[in-house]
Amino acid sequence: MKVLITGVDGYSGWPLALHLLARGHDVAGVDNLVTRRRVKEVGSWSATPIPSVARRLAAVREVLGRELRFYRGDLGNWSFVRSVLETERPEAIVHLAEQRSAPYSMIDVHHAVATQVENLTGTLHLLYGIKEIVPDAHLVKMGTMGEYGTPNVDIPEGYFEVEFRGRKDLLPFPRQAGSWYHWSKVFDSGDVMFAAKVFRLRATDVMQGVLYGVRTPEITDDRLVTRFDFDETWGTALNRFIAQAVLGVPLTPYGKGEQRRGFIALEDSMQSLRLALENPAAPGEYRVFNQFDAAYSVNELAERVARIATELGLRPTIEHPPDPRVEAEQHYYQPLHERLPALGYRRTRELDDVIREIFHDLLRWRRRLVARRHVVAPTVNWRLPDSHGLLRARQPADPRGLPPSVPPEPAGPAPGTTPTSAPTAVSAGPTDPTA
Ligand code: USQ
């Protein structure tokens, strides 16, 4: 199958490209490399050293013996979107190219606006591009379990039957997102649902839970490794807890720590996305998959990480900082997830094994964590209109942990300014250890 992945340079986009290439699919990818720049903006970097795109593509060629076509550009640019779709004519598009951090979207008004404008514009451009250029292509759109919030009833997959004043209907389940980022995904979902209806597009909206992990079977070489964020803005709960244990700083389940979320291993997320691609939605169909493997409270995860850290000879501690978010710290949580198992989804990784694997890698790259240890504690606060000053005021906790001088950023496209119509081996620079 000919697949286009938007956001191919990202945490899940990159391993998805490897996963599909290894299974014989023809894969092209798009990225504007903005996550690399935004992680630098908050003073952090990936715990895993990420090669430049040119080196990544060369490693794919060498290790997998496959070609990954890459287009550097921005989905905010309509002519760029059109030219990529016209060149590639994909049968399926996996849309992952969105600002993905809830805390980043809550920094201040500018970050809130950038998140929503970029996420919604990119999705609308893709919806129109598919309609005009590849109307039979299947769109697999990355949404989030966080769209639903934490209602006091079970959460279905997208729709539920409602009876009100004697009449029944099948309606979209209410969305109650918890950040400007999560709301951008809600608005996207409405747009994709509407486009499927009016343009008769094939669409799968994936409500994905929190990802964890650093490896997939295709990552057999350090040059193929995916990024791994651990800072307060870009890192997510379980990944952060493991980084904190390696650093010897307290693990931080926020507030009471009884917030429950759906979680899924990176590797099993790849399996789920492939199953969605290989079993496409019908023309005009908008279907919703709740894509997670199991639900845990953040306390359960912190305790599990602490137990395994102790087995590894570390001395983890757990603290409960006040929750910087506005969210229920104790609540009912029972989302359904039946559609992917019906297509053949099976868990391939046990949580403890993945936690050990992450420890193994982070201990190898511990120096990179130490150099950025000052960006781990939470400062972005949902209750403040502007956390930017707090973020900027953060100082390295340990002067020896001062980050090495960061070279100038690679020339990146301003949003909407870099039409690229041909596959391009971007900036044949060295490894980008600052990404
Ligand atoms: N949390 C802690 N301590 C931490 C970090 C997080 O207790 O150090 C808590 C948060 O308060 C929250 C939960 O863990 O209750 C999840 O937070 P997270 O940062 O792991 O994930 P979240 O902000 O929800 O967003 C992440 C991804 C996002 C994706 C989403 C799936 O960044 O792209 O959409 O997970 S979900 O959470 O299901 O909406």
Which stretch of 155-159, 245-249, 274-278, 415-419 has the lowest confidence by average pLDDT?
Answer: 415-419
- Establish whether residue 309 lines the binding site of ligand 1, counting it when its CB lies within 6 angstroms of any ligand atom: no
Is 209 close to ligand 1, i.e. is its CB under 6 Å away? yes
Give the mutation target among 11, 100, 144, 300 for probing the ligand 1 site: most ligand atoms within 8 A of CB. 144
> Are the beta carbons of 12 and 35 closer than 8 angstroms?
no
- Matching residue, tokens 């190898």: 364
Q: Is 380 in the pocket of ligand 1 (CB under 6 A)?
A: no
Residue 430 CB neighbours (<10 A):
11
pLDDT of residue 180: 98
Q: What is the pLDDT of residues 106-143, one digit of tens each?
A: 999 999 999 999 999 999 999 999 999 999 999 999 99
Distance 195 CA to ligand 1 centre (A): 29
> What's the total number of domains in the chain?
1
Radius of gyration of the chain (CA): 21
- Which residue type occupies 191? D
Inside any domain, residue 361: yes
Give the ligand 1 atom nearest the CA of 298: 7
Q: What is the predicted pLDDT for the residue at 411?
A: 34
Q: Is residue 412 part of a domain?
A: no
Domain membership of residue 190 (yes or no) is yes
Domain assignment present for residue 185? The answer is yes
What's the pLDDT band for 433 if we cut at 50, 70, 90? low
Q: 223-281, pLDDT tens digit by residue?
A: 999 999 999 999 999 999 999 999 999 999 999 999 999 999 999 999 999 999 999 99
Nearest CA to ligand 1 atom 1: 237
The DSSP bridge partners found for residue 260 are 297
Residue type, 227: R
CB burial string 397-412: b at 16+ within 10 A, e below: eeeebeeeeeeeebeb
**Contacts (Cβ under 8 Å, ≥6 apart) of 97:** 6, 7, 10, 13, 30, 31, 32, 75, 122
SS3 readout for the chain: CEEEEECCCCCCHHHHHHHHHHCCCEEEEEECCHHHHHHHHCCCCCCCCCCCHHHHHHHHHHHHCCCCEEEECCCCCHHHHHHHHHHHCCCEEEECCCCCCHHHHCCCHHHHHHHHHHHHHHHHHHHHHHHHHCCCCEEEEEEEHHHCCCCCCCECCCEEEEEECCEEEEEECCCCCCCHHHHHHHHHHHHHHHHHHHHCCEEEEEEECEEECCCCCCCCCHHHCCCCCCCCCCCCHHHHHHHHHHHCCCECCCCCCECEEEEEEHHHHHHHHHHHHHCCCCCCCEEEEEECCEEEEHHHHHHHHHHHHHHCCCCCCECCCCCCCCCCCECCCCECCCHHHHHCCCCCCCHHHHHHHHHHHHHHCHHHHHHCHHHCCCCCCCCCCCCHHHHHHCCCCCHHHCCCCCCCCCCCCCCCCCCCCCCCCCCCCCCCCCC
What's the confidence (pLDDT) of residue 394? 86
Residue 285: pLDDT band with limits 50, 70, 90: very high
Provide the pLDDT confidence category of residue 202 given band limits of 50, 70 and 90. Answer: very high
Which ligand 1 atom is at minimum distance from the Cα of 324?
Answer: 11
**All residues at 6 or more sequence positions from 166 whose CB lies less than 8 Å from its CB, including other chains:** none
Cα torsion 349, 236, 244, 321 to 10°: value is -130
Check residues 95 and 416 and name the one with the higher pLDDT.
95
User: At how many degrees (to 10) do helices 237-247 and 351-364 cross?
Assistant: 50
Largest pairwise CA distance in the chain: 69
User: What pLDDT sits at residue 431?
Assistant: 52
- Residue 429, pLDDT > 90, answer no
Query: Does ligand 1 have an atom closer than 6 angstroms to the CB of 138?
Result: no
Tell me whether residue 72 is in a domain.
Answer: yes
Full domain range(s) for residue 132: 2-401
Where in the sequence numbering do the catalytic residues fall?
Answer: 144, 181, 185
425 found inside a domain: no
Q: Which residue from 39, 236, 330 has its CB within 8 A of the most atoms of ligand 1, so it is best to mutate?
A: 236
**Residue pLDDT, tens place only, 47-89:** 999 999 999 999 999 999 999 999 999 999 999 999 999 999 9
**pLDDT given for residue 415 in this prediction:** 35
128-132, 188-192, 296-300, 412-416: segment of lowest average pLDDT: 412-416
pTM: 0.93
Domain membership of residue 424 (yes or no) is: no
Amino acid 399: pLDDT = 53
Ligand 1 atom having least distance to the Cα of 209: 38
Spatial distance between the Cα atoms of 62 and 28, rounded to a whole number of angstroms? 17
- Give me the amino acid identity at 158: G
| Cα–Cα dist 117/238, whole Å | 29
Q: Is the pLDDT of residue 425 over 70?
A: no
Strands 167-172 and 159-164: antiparallel
Here the tokens at position 425 are 């081996």
CA distances from 263 to 28, 112, 236, 295, 404 (A): 28, 25, 11, 6, 34
In CATH, what number is assigned to the domain containing residue 50? 3.40.50.720
258 Cα to the center of ligand 1, angstroms: 13
Cβ count near 345 (within 10 Å): 21
Work out the average pLDDT over 380-388.
Answer: 96
pLDDT at 344: 97
Average pLDDT, the chain: 93
Sign of CA dihedral 182, 12, 134, 82: positive
Least confident span in 171-180, 366-375, 416-425:
416-425
CA of 165 to the centre of ligand 1 (A): 37
Q: Is residue 310 part of a domain?
A: yes
pLDDT above 70 covers a percentage of the chain that reads 91
260 lines ligand 1 (CB under 6 A): no
Cβ atoms < 10 Å from Cβ of 228? 27
Which residue type does 363 have? L
Question: Do the Cβ atoms of 10 and 96 come closer than 8 Å?
Answer: yes
Closest residue by Cα to atom 35, ligand 1, is 210
Mean pLDDT on 191-209: 98
